[in-house]
Chains A and B, each alone.
Chain A
Amino acid sequence: MTIPLSGKDVASKIEEKFPGSVVESSQDNLVVKGNFLLDAARFLRDTEGLDLDFLNFVTAVDYYDHFEVVYWLSSLEHNHSLTIKARCYDRENPVLPSVVGLWQGADLQEREIFDLFGIKFEDHPNMKRIFLWEGFAGHPLRKDFI
């Protein structure tokens, strides 16, 4: 069985390394600040004992007042998993750092989030719309789209 890591335990480890980076944590997941996302992600991937080398998926959820980007990570070696989240409060121009440099698997998925939610990922090599055409008005998966 894949063991879900406790968000609280991992949060304390991240907090130790990067103070002030974790917004909140629970048993299931932890939320990191957007500007610390890349550091936290690198820490999770490279730390001995965590080794979260496999990014299962990236997605976003629109909560009207903020976007929540969900990263579901797992380690093939230790067979455990962890959900981390990052929030964006800016609806007009939401920006988060891209994790493509760490997990290439995020490439197409971040483009998809950009297309359907309008969240821009900085330093993504090819930040273009993926399903809809250039010039499509709005971002369909936002709750205020229709």
Chain B
Amino acid sequence: MAVRTEPFVLNMGPVHPSTHGVFRMRATLDGEVVIDIEPVFGYLHRGIEKLAEQRTYTGITPLTDRLDYISSMSNNLAYCLAVEKLAGIKVPERAEYIRVIMAELQRIAALLIAVGAFLNDCGAYFTPFLYMFRERERIVDLFEMVSGQRLTYNYMRAGGVSQDLPEEFMPALRKFMDMMPRFMDEYDRLLMQNEILIARAKGVGILTGEQAINCSVSGPVLRASGVNWDIRKADPYSIYDRFDFDIPTQATGDCYDRYRQRVEEMRQSLRIIRQAMEQLPSGPVRAELPQLIRPPTGEAYARIEAPKGELGFYLVSDNSIAPYRCHIRPPSLINLTALRDMVRGWKVADLIIIFGSIDITVGEIDR
């Protein structure tokens, strides 16, 4: 007997435990199978690009904190690089090193959340998530020492960083660096070889390399698909060409590979921080700049390898104290382009983990 069935539309979100913020997926389902999805967003749209047109170049830095609010330091860095490129500012050596240390610590912190949230989406009821938060807490403590903030750090400035490292920072960082590798091993033992996780994530939501490039996907998601492309190596900004580190890649581009990719990237970040700590010179941390930066007419695009992918700022200057146009290239938004192709034909449960493995922050999608 043929049972008459019809697809139905399920609105996942905007308030849903695993949409990582106010994000909505309009999923068309056939029973448990996803036929089609359409991401709907804009619930957190604050018009940061418009706001930036009314502010001075220095005044935009706090706005960038609110983009991807779990990796504020990276946003600061990308924005400052763009301003420096536009205005031709030279950054002191020490500030470059501090920036690298902060950016890599931030990468670890953001990837910890990404991995934890992914495992949480897989149904490991908050245990890995809270374990990862435990270590993120230590990184946040370090950030609090230098900036006084715990989420929106607003630490970097065009031409350097806002203040030098406090005395207690380096010992604390050293202690953290001693602990972290052991914690990483602990995470690996916790779930890396878990039968259920492998069954859930391996072979699920495959994104091929060509597809990823065509969809402009960047960051760990791109590298998990086997494309060796990391802006830190391909187009070294700041002083990344001075460090010795590898770009891990994975083969298939399924959810499990994206998870592995993030874990391995954390280890590489630790390597970079260790080298930066050894080489850290003394000196000023901020270039001498006028109160109001007035870059010459022109445009500049500076990009960094943020934890989620290529984060870039495209600034157009008309020789005034505010940018004429400030465009943000949001990795979260653009990585979502591939979502529809990745989830079609999979089940609702897979939809959640594929979505989780892309790792988005709604603050960055909506801006």
Contact = CB atoms under 8 A, between A and B. Distances in A.
B113 interface: no
A54 interface: yes
A102 to B, nearest CB: 8
Interface in B22-47: 38, 41-42, 45, 47
Interface string A108-146: 110010001000000000100111110000001100000
Nearest to B229: A76
A105 B214 contact: yes
Contacts of B327: 57, 59, 61, 70
B130 to A, nearest CB: 33
Contacts of A28: 299
B214 to A, nearest CB: 5
A57 B229 contact: no
A3 to B, nearest CB: 9
B352 interface: no
A140 B50 contact: yes
A39 interface: no
Nearest to B340: A107
B227 interface: yes
Q: How large is the interface on A (under 10, 10 to 19, 20 to 34, 35 or more residues)?
A: 20 to 34
B17 to A, nearest CB: 23
Contact of B310 (A56, A59, A107): A56
B314 A72 contact: yes
A104 interface: yes
A1 B234 CA distance: 6
Interface centre among A55, A105, A107 (most CB of B within 10 A): A105
A36 interface: no
B334 A105 contact: yes
Contacts of B234: 2, 76, 79
B42 A130 contact: yes
A62 B41 contact: no
A106 to B, nearest CB: 8
Given A76-B229, A130-B41, A53 B235 contact: no
Contacts of B333: 108-109, 112
A61 B316 contact: yes
Contacts of A106: 216
A104 B215 contact: yes
A126 B36 CA distance: 14
Contacts of B47: 140
B286 interface: no
Contacts, number: 82
B324 A61 contact: yes
A131 B366 contact: yes
Contact of A56 (B38, B216, B337): B216
Nearest to B210: A53
Contacts of A133: 42
A2 B303 CA distance: 11
A31 B308 CA distance: 31
Given A2-B235, A107-B337, A76 B325 contact: no
B215 A56 contact: no
Interface string A17-55: 000000000001000000000000000000000000111
Given A2-B234, A131-B45, A103 B216 contact: yes
Contacts of A109: 333-334
B323 to A, nearest CB: 11
Given A59-B329, A107-B215, 15 more contacts: A1-B235, A2-B234, A53-B214, A56-B216, A57-B312, A59-B314, A61-B327, A72-B301, A103-B215, A103-B216, A104-B216, A104-B338, A105-B217, A126-B38, A131-B41
Interface of A: 1-2, 28, 53-57, 59, 61-62, 70, 72, 76, 79, 83, 103-109, 112, 116, 126, 129-133, 140-141
15 contacts: A1-B235, A53-B213, A53-B214, A56-B301, A56-B329, A57-B314, A57-B329, A59-B327, A72-B301, A79-B234, A79-B235, A103-B215, A105-B216, A130-B42, A131-B366
